[in-house]
A and B are shown apart, each in its own frame.
Chain A
Amino acid sequence: MSIAMNRRAFVNGAVAVAGAAALSPLLSACGSGSSRSKGGTNSKSGLRAALPDYVPGQAVKPDIPSVHGAAGAFTDPGFLTYPAKQIPTVSGTPGKGGSYTAVTPLWGTIPPAGNSFYQAVNKALGVNLTIKPANGVSYDTIVPTMTASKKLPDWIQLPTWWNAAFNMGELAGTQLADLTPYLAGGKIKKYPNLAAIPTFAWQVGAWEDKLYGIPCGASGMSLAGHVFYRADILESKGITADQVKSADDYMSLGKELTSAQAGVWAFGDVWTYLSLSWGLPPGWTVKSGKLVHAYELPEFLEALDWHYKLAKSGYVHPDALAGNVNAGATRFYAGKELIQGGGTGAWNLSDHQSGTAANKNYRRGAFNVIAADGRSDPQIFLGAATGVVSYLNAKLSPNQIEELLAVANYLAAPYGSTEYTMITYGVEGVHHTMVNGMPSYTDEGKKYAQPTTYTFLASAPQVISNPGAEQVTKDYTSWFARTAPHVYKPVFYGMNITVPQRYATAAAAKSVVDTVIEVTHGLKKVSDFQAAVSSWKSSGGDQLKNWYQTEVLDKYGTGQ
């Protein structure tokens, strides 16, 4: 089986996989017949030949330009308003009248089939593309049944956080189309909007040195997330982000802000994001030529110990300690939880609207990236450029693939272009009207034009825009600009390693992941974590490390 080392998921503890069971008999007896057990990865030289060139788009000028950071990263550009003049980037219709079906996950209400929005987009695309959205919540069950019965549609969205569940390493070689012959190197220039997607984003959909996936909404600087705080409330108490420089500062904030009697706690769940202040890597790291896992680092113990103390301090909201993460956002809006970790996606217009609906002064802020000791240089690792990748069916003919790539080129048109407006907002006067220079959905648009439909098949690199809440865009872009110098590419970045089936259990390290959560909830002690790690190592962790060392690190390097 393939566990692609999705770093973000790994750090989140979201890859819920097998425990460090005593599996020695299993490990030795594992068969070798099926392709699953061989494992695989991208290599540096092989990838270089497969990856497309990068030709940044110049069509639309942002209000807040991108900032270049360390490790080749650059921040997403910001737009305070919608571009007044919509520029076309594609001439004519890209399609040749072919008929295709596409399946995408949708977290929302599914618009009726064949509605006016789909019809309008189909007309613009020049193809008969039947969009079949499926419920995002059960998508990880739906796709494996499709692949088991070899019933994949022509075009499908396969989010990377489910790479393991979908067995991408094997699917890529069998049921998904190899796009290398169409896009490698300079060939991509035939599709200028696709060429404007940064090269490292294409790595996300590359498997064993071949290009399969089309990255959607790629970011030049993708981070696991931040530690957010209620800027309005903290600032009213005279606390600013710059004052928080060390783990100790966080602890004293806890004391200052918590009042259980008033129903206010300083902290929600922060482990995933705050623990990065101890310089933790997302998984493996190299120390003097040898692979070491984050679990083996003394810094991990320190971070865990601090979070255990935090859980026991009474500064953490009891519901967060009870694992009730879903209501975390609501607790934040209600001002019952003032500091909490979260993905960058939380910082947007819809958050602003939800927050101000509860309290008109609501403002979200993020603390600076710090080093726990308050002295070292803060470091934060880069995540994959996107988690949203679409694939074409291997059964398609070369002509069909070229037609769909031309369609993808249309869909990937930059923010504010004619094409972007069409696939996101539909037809002016029908699905949207311009209000204060910004497209605003009509009733029909709200019903039919789900913005995550076509953008899940192909879309331009991300931009930051929160029309009507300029402050959010300013806060967000300035935080990113401040963080940019501190980023680094972690070991095995973008290599899409498929771990052999026999190491799947060890790779998931479920019992260690569980114990980490339990320590940060104050249920277990740090010594329990150490015991879990040593049992993980002896029951497969060490063998896994050995495999990574000899089969990946020694052969292909770190991918950095």
Chain B
Amino acid sequence: MAGTFTTKTKKVGAGSSGGTEPAADAEPDADGRARSRKRPGRAEEGGLTWRLRLRRDRSLILMTLPAVALLLVFNYAPLFGLITAFEYYDPLVGVLHSDWAGLDQFRALFNDPLFWGALRNTLWLSFVQLVLFFPIPIALALVLNSVTSERLRNFIQSVVYLPHFFSWVLAITIFQQMLGGAGVLNHFLAQHNLGTWDVMTDPHTFALLVTSQAVWKEAGWGIIVFLAALAAIDQNLYEAAAVDGAGRWRRMWHITLPGMRGVIVLMLVLRLGNALTVGFEQFLIQRDAVGHDTADVLDTFSFYYGITTNNYSYGAAAGLFKSVISLLLIWGANRVAHAFGEDGLYRK
């Protein structure tokens, strides 16, 4: 019986379908031929010329145009700035008239041990965050969803996302005041002669520290999308499963998780694509506490060695490198998703 739920929910993905009566599933097939003229099913796809498909889908394409137009103007047009990565760019002289550098900026970048250090830190922090941070909002959403008292659930929901609105400066100040060498914890330890433990300045535990800061600040906000996914699951499925004797865990495994799967995979793919982005301000602020060897990530590297030196081109080269790798990563993540039979960013 549980198997039925799986297939059904998989097909509807994160959305919902009524489908309590078996007839609903069969309906479209019964009418397959009638539909094929207007909107063909998957089987007929190959037989259509692109002209016909364009004609058929023109309203869908029309719908995407406003967004595409905005992106073309405000995201694609400024891409001429990428040229600066191949120049000795001087904003006062302009992109057109700055000296040409060819690949010199990249050569310098790849010979720069600080760049590789920053890349290594970024990948390591990204990995730690993926393992320790990524599952937390999902778990929290599930726990919250299982709270039966509506008032309590609403209260918790409307509190946990608040740290998202704290700035990093404030978040880190709070951590410092709680866990720092002169903070509440260490003050307590010192007064009871239990030694001290300054986690805020320890380079060895830095990855854990920044991940816990990120969890504290962003996990509550991160659950919102998953709550929406949960809300989209048809409650009837639960009841039917319960009636059939499926227990709590079985229902979570066979209904809840499949219902959230589309969103989880999307988030995972995006997270992997953003593996080179782990944060900026958070590392800027804590750089002096643990040292640049530990705290420099790609974005802060571009900032320190590009922007603040006015060596814009060097920063642009680092940025372009990051863009290319990110695109490769998201392409790869999407391929992996497809290999597991998931949609990822788009259907295979």
Residues of A at the B interface (CB closer than 8 Å) are 1, 16-19, 21-23, 25-26, 29-37, 144, 147-148, 164-165, 167, 170-171, 174-175, 260-261, 263, 265, 317-319, 321-324, 326-327, 336, 501, 504-505, 508, 510-511, 514, 517-518, 521, 523-524
Whether the Cβ atoms of B104 and A25 lie closer than 8 Å is: yes
Whether the Cβ atoms of B311 and A1 lie closer than 8 Å is: yes
Number of interface residues of B (CB under 8 A): 52
Shortest distance in angstroms between A332's beta carbon and chain B's nearest beta carbon? 13
Whether the Cβ atoms of B310 and A22 lie closer than 8 Å is: no
Q: Mark B80-98, 1 if CB is under 8 A from A, else 0.
A: 0000000010111110011
Whether the Cβ atoms of B113 and A22 lie closer than 8 Å is: yes
**With a CB–CB cut-off of 8 A, which chain B residues contact A336?**
182
Name the residue among A22, A165, A318 with the largest chain B CB count within 10 angstroms: A318
Q: Can you report 25 residue pairs joining A to B where beta carbons are below 8 Å apart?
A: A16-B304, A18-B304, A18-B314, A21-B114, A22-B108, A23-B108, A23-B111, A23-B112, A26-B107, A30-B99, A36-B92, A37-B99, A148-B94, A167-B92, A170-B90, A171-B92, A263-B187, A318-B183, A321-B181, A322-B181, A322-B201, A501-B90, A504-B311, A505-B314, A517-B288
Whether the Cβ atoms of A16 and B308 lie closer than 8 Å is: yes
Measured CA separation A265–B182 after assembly (Å):
9
Whether the Cβ atoms of B182 and A33 lie closer than 8 Å is: no
- B99 nearest CB neighbor, chain A only: A31
Asked whether any CB of chain A lies closer than 8 Å to the CB of B176, the reply is yes
Q: A26-B104, A167-B92 are in contact. Are A319 and B182 (CB under 8 A)?
A: yes
Q: Given A33, A167, A321, which contacts B310 in the complex, CB threshold below 8 Å?
A: A167
Whether the Cβ atoms of B92 and A29 lie closer than 8 Å is: no
Q: A21-B111, A21-B112, A322-B289 are in contact. Are A34 and B93 (CB under 8 A)?
A: yes
Whether the Cβ atoms of A174 and B92 lie closer than 8 Å is: yes
Q: Which 7 A-B pairs have the closest CB atoms?
A: A318-B181, A323-B288, A31-B99, A21-B112, A18-B309, A17-B309, A322-B289
Q: Mark B99-136, 1 if CB is under 8 A from A, else 0.
A: 11110110110011111000000000000000000000
Whether the Cβ atoms of A34 and B97 lie closer than 8 Å is: yes
Whether the Cβ atoms of A521 and B288 lie closer than 8 Å is: yes
Shortest distance in angstroms between B149's beta carbon and chain A's nearest beta carbon? 41
Shortest distance in angstroms between A12's beta carbon and chain B's nearest beta carbon? 13
Shortest distance in angstroms between B125's beta carbon and chain A's nearest beta carbon? 18
Q: Given B100, B101, B111, which contacts A22 in the complex, CB threshold below 8 Å?
A: B111
Asked whether any CB of chain A lies closer than 8 Å to the CB of B200, the reply is yes
Residues of B at the A interface (CB closer than 8 Å) are 88, 90-94, 97-102, 104-105, 107-108, 111-115, 169, 173, 176, 180-183, 186-187, 190-191, 196, 198, 200-201, 203, 285-292, 304-305, 308-311, 314
Q: A22-B113, A26-B104, A165-B310 are in contact. Are A318 and B198 (CB under 8 A)?
A: yes
Whether the Cβ atoms of B90 and A324 lie closer than 8 Å is: no
Measured CA separation A260–B181 after assembly (Å):
9
Measured CA separation A521–B290 after assembly (Å):
9
Given contacts A1-B90, A171-B92, A324-B173, 14 further A-B contacts (CB under 8 A): A16-B308, A17-B309, A19-B112, A32-B99, A36-B88, A36-B90, A167-B90, A170-B90, A322-B201, A322-B289, A323-B288, A505-B305, A521-B288, A523-B291
**With a CB–CB cut-off of 8 A, which chain A residues contact B169?**
326
- A508 nearest CB neighbor, chain B only: B309
Shortest distance in angstroms between A268's beta carbon and chain B's nearest beta carbon? 11
Whether the Cβ atoms of B91 and A22 lie closer than 8 Å is: no
**With a CB–CB cut-off of 8 A, which chain A residues contact B104?**
25-26, 29
**With a CB–CB cut-off of 8 A, which chain A residues contact B181?**
317-319, 321-322
Q: A26-B107, A147-B91, A321-B289 are in contact. Are A521 and B308 (CB under 8 A)?
A: no
Whether the Cβ atoms of B176 and A319 lie closer than 8 Å is: yes
Whether the Cβ atoms of A164 and B310 lie closer than 8 Å is: yes
Shortest distance in angstroms between B128's beta carbon and chain A's nearest beta carbon? 21
**With a CB–CB cut-off of 8 A, which chain B residues contact A165?**
308, 310
Whether the Cβ atoms of A504 and B88 lie closer than 8 Å is: no
Measured CA separation A175–B93 after assembly (Å):
12
Measured CA separation A17–B196 after assembly (Å):
35
**With a CB–CB cut-off of 8 A, which chain A residues contact B285?**
323
**With a CB–CB cut-off of 8 A, which chain B residues contact A321?**
181, 198, 201, 289
Measured CA separation A318–B288 after assembly (Å):
12
Shortest distance in angstroms between B13's beta carbon and chain A's nearest beta carbon? 43
Name the residue among B104, B182, B203, B314 with the largest chain A CB count within 10 angstroms: B182
Measured CA separation A260–B169 after assembly (Å):
25
**With a CB–CB cut-off of 8 A, which chain A residues contact B191?**
261
**With a CB–CB cut-off of 8 A, which chain B residues contact A164?**
309-310
Measured CA separation A165–B99 after assembly (Å):
19
**With a CB–CB cut-off of 8 A, which chain A residues contact B190?**
260-261
**With a CB–CB cut-off of 8 A, which chain B residues contact A36?**
88, 90, 92-93
Measured CA separation A260–B187 after assembly (Å):
8
- B98 nearest CB neighbor, chain A only: A34
**With a CB–CB cut-off of 8 A, which chain B residues contact A174?**
92
**With a CB–CB cut-off of 8 A, which chain B residues contact A260?**
190, 196
Measured CA separation A245–B310 after assembly (Å):
42
